[in-house]
Chains A and B, each alone.
Chain A
Amino acid sequence: MSPYIQKAARDLAAQPGRALLVCLAIALGAAALTVAVAARSVLLREIPASFDTADPPAAVFRLEDVDEQLLDRVRALPGVVDADARRLVRARVEVAPADWRTLLLFGVRDFADLRVSSFEKLAGQASPARGAVLVERSGLPVLGVGIGDEIAVRVPAGASATLPVQGIVHDPALAPGWQDNAAYAYASRETLADLGLGSHLDELRITVNGNRSDTAVVADDVAGWLSRNGYEVFRVEIPPRRHPHADHMATMLLLLSVFSGLALLLSGALAASVTAALLARQARQIGIMKAIGARSRDIASIYLAMIVVLALPATALGMGAGLFGARAFSGFAGRQLNLDIASYAVGAPTLLAIVCAGLAVPLLAAALPIARAVRMPVQKALQNPGIAVPRAKGDVLPLVGRLGRPAVLAVRNSFRRPARLWLTLFALALGGAALMTAGNVHVSLIAAVDRSLERRGDNIDIRLLKPVNAAGILAGVRTMPGVAHAEAWGGALVALSAGQSPGLSRGRYGLLAPPPDTALLDVPIVEGRWPASDAIGELVVNRNLQAIEPALVVGGEVRLALGQRSLSARVVGVIEEVAEPSLYTNPGTFAALAGTEGLAGVIRVTTEPGGEARLASEIEEVIVEAGSIPALLFTRPALRQAMVDHFAILLALLSAAALAAIVVGGLSLAVSMGLNVLERTREIGVIRAIGARPAAVRKLILMEGYAIACASVLLGGFLSVPLSAAVTYIVGHHGLHLTLPLVLSATGVIVWSVLVIILTLIACIGSVRRAIKMPVCQAIAYG
């Protein structure tokens, strides 16, 4: 074996404690980096892959009925890969007495031959018997049922039925039901017919080759062919080919990239700190080697070899732990999105990149201290005591002097190794900043939700499946005890076409038409203006809709379609709100589109506090009596919870990152304190020799730790401001399409202060024990 390697290995063996600390630091950095990079890699691959397993439709045509003969003919059309028939019935399901929730009931052509919008059987039967249903797994928490149980369903015509659950399936193209307070069920044509809904399947769903613009061409061709062959096409949709929560995913992946960078920085800081300490103890040996003829490159080779010897197993260890962490996080993210992660494998290039970073970071970190050691004159190196001898007292705070000699000693000792102090402070402060950022972003999100709900003012929001007479429904609702205020808005799901393809709908979105004097909407315009009260065809869109339909800019023209009627409109304003993609207009425009005045598609109610749930249930009965059912019904607490649940994955990611940063920061402190105490073994021996009791030594080390901890709270507080601003911006603009307020929460500072006290205590325990345990004479002889 090369003498270089031999020396490196034996030096390390002679200082197993330090070698272990260096390994731990490098392993931690590698683990943090691996979690972030590997999780990003897995999710980037698996999210679209899992979504694609559902064979999501490229285009959906709304027809009268789709039979097998039509499907065969469509499958044969150019550009069409496959076709299937489906029907979506918006129904209600009773999850507790008088507690109804949204149920999306899908009519399925053939459970044994799912060609588009397929789903996977998880348990029970693959095909439900007539009069039974399968349910999608993400709605199970809402339904609270299992196989063999029954669900009570209310369908648009107002009929109710009890349907047994015969199986559980997974449909990765659906947003998690629990997040939307909704459930999904699948039934056969015959079951739909038994419910009084008729046996027809009115959606023709096709898959095509190519991208979205190819899809538009194929969809146009198919729509034309259908019309030429006598099929009346009521609507054509080209759904966005992405998961319903794609924005959240993109934000999460972006944040993972940010945290990868932070992990790299932390890893570097930690590695630099410990390798510098390792080399400091070698200064005399470097002097000796130089004295006997070693050249700079010989010495550099020895110490680089030493770092490689440490970094190789440490990186392997860190990667192993990191891959385990990445697997856990990816699995969690998948569950949050109702996606299954088919493979947690990380590609060879990614692994190679992590290995390279894992080795390069400590090598780069060690380069500076190695260069410094190599340049040191022989005489100076031979006399190097291995620990910095201060040239100035360096009292940072005059106040420290008043705390007594031990405090002075502790604080001055903290500044003994300025570079290590800064690296430790940086790592610890970054942990604190990450925690405070997680707290700040959480508060900011909640504040945005609450502000959004406050601006609406209602306690109950109901979207009707079928419009009803506004005056009639209002008369019924306003007289209910506990109702403070009620409004009936025009509203419906409208198809829209932006661009030069008249009649081609890109998607269906909620159009809301509040009365001009509404007391239940106060959303500030961020671009343009609100529609004039008497102007027909003016629209306001929210940013969420703009994210899906970028053509909808102020001044953009769009054609709205509702049933058989359509209307040209122009976007005049843009708003930001925590809501689903929506358009707003005035009642006149809605009436022109609907073809009749006085219809209500939305009911918003303000109640006396606490009575929302009971009143919602009573209002639902009034709606049913009026001949419709709610397509969506949210009380304010339920809506708030649903909104917050949508952020759960982002908050979990922030919390995980904060936790990781805290662990790394805490270990960084432990490593730093361990090295500080190790280097000052002799000094501690002297202090004990002149009468310091174990308690005094303990206090001295803890004070030094707390000096660093206090500084980390201050620095972390400062760092958290730009970090919070950046993450708030990313989450707001990329994830939610709104400007989130930058909130600096005092809670984060308090929590971090408490945590850092505990962390310091834990971090210093080992050092304190070691300092006290070593016999005084041995401590004095140390060096």
Chain B
Amino acid sequence: MSDPELIELRDISKRYDRPGGPSFDALKAVTCTISASGLTAVVGRSGSGKSTLLHLIAGLDRPSAGSVAVSGVSLGSLGEDGLAKWRGAEVGVVFQFFQLLPTLTVLENLLLAMDFVGSVPARDRRSRALALLDRVGVADQANKLPGALSGGQQQRAAIARALANDPQLLVADEPTGNLDTDSAATVTDLLTALAGDGRSVVVVTHDEGFAARADRLIRLSDGMIVEDTAKAMSQ
């Protein structure tokens, strides 16, 4: 029995207006669905529309046309406030440059994410944050500012923050793009493991090795899906 669909993209397009130049279509009538668990890799050349697709899935941007629905919720029907609330509770976002808040400690970065959403009881937040940091292997760095951590440690802390509110969907934009080989391998393992835990992980990547480990591969070119391959389940 296949996993239920978590994300449904229907005819989505995204057009960017460029001052002094022609407008640019980053995505052109893309339609696809993504299941509620497993690792999905989105690949393609620079400018092919990968990050735009990821932003639309995560509710970080709105399409120019078409609709995005996640867990049956049409993101277009949500206002800014509702979208923020939904995003905090349902989506974890991992960025290429980590984007930990530099004035908060690693632990505080996680706590802040839980503060915003409020789904984890206040008394449980600290222990949950420490458990998540332990899971990604940076619990000993919890009280340090992000600037004191290596790139790999920061990215792992960022993954822990993305998991803070236990979202069903994790999206990652080039999560290994700014890491050395060893750190990239650690992060790849971590995200793959999370996908195996019954979570849907969507990763935009240039790393062919990482893409090869995905359950499904979506290739974009010029804003259109040119390849959509599901790996045969090993079990």
A interface residues (Cβ-Cβ under 8 A, vs B): 389-393, 404-406, 408-409, 412-413, 416, 682-683, 686-696, 772, 775-778, 780
Contact = CB atoms under 8 A, between A and B. Distances in A.
A694 B105 contact: no
B103 A687 contact: no
B145 A391 contact: yes
Interface in B49-106: 51-52, 55, 58-62, 80-81, 84-85, 87-89, 93, 95, 99, 101-105
Contacts, number: 97
Interface in B10-26: none
A417 to B, nearest CB: 11
Contacts of B52: 777
A530 to B, nearest CB: 68
A760 to B, nearest CB: 20
A778 B145 CA distance: 26
A420 to B, nearest CB: 15
7 nearest interchain CB pairs? Answer: A691-B88, A412-B103, A777-B55, A777-B61, A776-B60, A777-B60, A691-B116
A680 to B, nearest CB: 9
B81 A405 contact: no
Interface residues of B, number: 36
Given A690-B112, A690-B113, 6 more contacts: A390-B145, A682-B99, A686-B95, A689-B60, A692-B116, A777-B55
What is the predominant secondary structure among interface residues of chain B facing chain A? helix
B207 interface: no
B81 A693 contact: yes
B145 A693 contact: no
Contacts of B58: 689
B165 interface: yes
A412 B105 CA distance: 11
A690 to B, nearest CB: 4
B117 to A, nearest CB: 5
Given A405-B111, A405-B112, A777-B55, A389 B104 contact: no
B103 A691 contact: no
Contacts of A391: 145, 147
Nearest to B171: A689
A738 B150 CA distance: 68
B199 interface: no
B104 A409 contact: yes
B81 A683 contact: no
A405 B104 contact: yes
Contacts of A691: 84-85, 87-89, 113, 116-117, 165
A780 B55 CA distance: 10
B55 A392 contact: no
Given A405-B115, A693-B81, A389 B60 contact: no
Contacts of B62: 775
Nearest to A415: B103
B108 A694 contact: no
B85 A693 contact: yes
13 contacts: A405-B112, A406-B115, A416-B103, A686-B95, A690-B93, A690-B116, A691-B87, A691-B89, A693-B80, A693-B84, A694-B80, A777-B61, A780-B99
Given A686-B99, A695-B81, A775-B60, A412 B104 contact: yes
